Structure 1
């Protein structure tokens, strides 16, 4: 007997239908959201070396992008404003282009070894104020642009995803030599003629050494 293939056609169309399946959040979950950066959130951000930022353009096309640096690289300016340095990257500027057309953004701050994460939602805009950029200089190099978040929501997210994934448990990690090969993936995706996997891997490693800041 053949087994039918699963599809994504059996869709949930309304929030009421979704609630009938998922249920309602607890009182603790409902009340945990605050509208500003308090001392706890500021301390969390000061310890975080990594975040992801989610944005979308005016038509709703979404993007999520990582940002990382030494702990505290994202600065809390006051209880309503956080600024993130835009370090050198691949110049696609997906996040920044989205912000120019739709200022809504979401942040997820992570601290290695800690299961709980900090979620921040708000309005984003791009800044070029030299005083702010100088505060975020690293190795004598200041970012060309900063991403400022005007905070609307802050809340702690529970550790269930981290515990399920074993993200911070080295014994659950794959062997390094079995991990996906970025150079091979890029060669297959870009199909640039006369470029070998070895050449591209060497170029990537050189870029990591010389272009981080």
Structure 2
């Protein structure tokens, strides 16, 4: 690893950045209370962090209409596994290392809800049918056994102006995703137009 005057201890880090306030130290709870449940019910998007047994990390979004995450009780929630690209990075990680972290987002709200706990993959039919959408029942779900949850302050979203349309770049300035995928994959006979058509077919016919 290249040396960039790297910090090597918690003590050194604390000397530079300091300590959390009493409010920050005490805001974490170990169960989903009514506030957390309400927040989750209004969230159409979460970001899930996992890692494998060797510590290699992955972060993956999960999204649907608000209420797509099913809260079972104070310490368990279920995320439906909708159709994706079949890489199954998060699922494979969970099988080797159950630790997972979630961030729930609500459009227009700059504070987020963080939930940490143990994850496992389930295929209980009675449970999965409760998360049916567009006539499709998910094949599996991800249960999170909640160990910690707390509100995260709005500074990062305020700095990014994520929910402020005036800060958004124009469509013409957006990255060409199809071109990126084509250039990265380097498959014979595959170009940006074919990737774009494949993406559109997936978004039209294989969302659920």
TM-score, normalised to structure 1, is 0.96
In the TM superposition, what whole-angstrom CA distance separates every residue of 1:24-47 from its partner, at most 9, and x where no partner exists? 100000000000000000000000
Answering whether residue 77 of structure 2 is matched by residue 105 of structure 1, we say: no
Question: In 1, distance between residues paired with 2:51 and 2:192?
Answer: 33
Work out which of the residue numbers 69, 91, 95 in structure 1 matches 2:90.
95
Q: Name which of 12, 17, 25 aligns with 1:22.
A: 17
CA distance in 2: counterparts of 1:196 and 1:31, whole angstroms: 53
Rounded Cα–Cα distance in structure 1 between residues aligned with 2:190 and 2:134: 33
In structure 2, the partner of 1:197 is 192
Residue 115 of structure 2 is matched in structure 1 by: 120
The aligned length equals 207
Q: 1:69 Cα deviation (Å)?
A: 0.2
Aligned residue number for residue 32 of structure 1: 27
- In the alignment, what sits opposite 2:158? 163
- Unaligned runs of at least 5 residues, structure 2: none
The alignment partner of 1:63 has SS state of strand
**RMSD, aligned CA:** 0.8
SS of equivalent to 2:194: helix
SS of equivalent residue, structure 1 residue 59: coil
**Among 50, 54, 60, which residue is 1:65 paired with?**
60
The answer as to 2:81 corresponding to 1:86 is yes
Q: How does 1:133-212 map to 2 (within 5 A)?
A: 133-212=128-207
1:132 is aligned to 127
3-state SS of paired residue (1:107): strand
Structure 2: distance between partners of 1:180 and 1:35: 40
SS at match of 2:119: strand
Query: Unaligned 5+ residue runs, structure 1?
Result: 1-6
- Structure 1 residue 8: deviation in Å? 5.0
Q: Counterpart in 2 of 1:4? A: none
Aligned equivalents of 1:106 and 1:202: distance in 2?
34
